[in-house]
């Protein structure tokens, strides 16, 4: 049961960030193709947004381990 709970927590915590990071990646690829001379700035924005989104997914992972204290 503990495993199922942890798996559910992580699975639910990661769905929205997964969709969002896909959006961020696709949009930054699109913008780079549209304006290749802005590639540097776009990459910075991409990394920043990806880090913001990734933190949410990691929060779910770490929260599960902290609250549960065991697997």
State how far the Cα of 13 lies from the Cα of 10, in Å rounded to an integer. 5
The whole-angstrom separation of Cα 71 and Cα 50 is 28
- Which DSSP letter does residue 71 get? -
| 69 binding other proteins? (CB under 8 A) | yes
Number of residues that bind other proteins (CB under 8 A): 20
Footprint of other proteins on 15-54 (CB under 8 A): 44, 47-48, 51, 54
- Name which of 6, 2, 4 is nearest 14 in CA terms: 6
Residues that bind other proteins (CB under 8 A): 1-3, 44, 47-48, 51, 54-55, 58-59, 61-62, 65-71
């Amino acid at each position: 049961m503990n495993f199922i709970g942890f798996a559910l927590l992580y699975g639910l915590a990661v769905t929205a960030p997964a969709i969002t990071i896909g959006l961020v990646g696709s949009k930054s690829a699109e913008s780079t193709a549209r304006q290749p001379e802005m590639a540097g700035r776009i990459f910075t924005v991409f990394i920043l947004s990806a880090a913001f989104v990734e933190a949410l997914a990691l929060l779910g992972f770490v929260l599960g381990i902290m609250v549960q204290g065991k697997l």
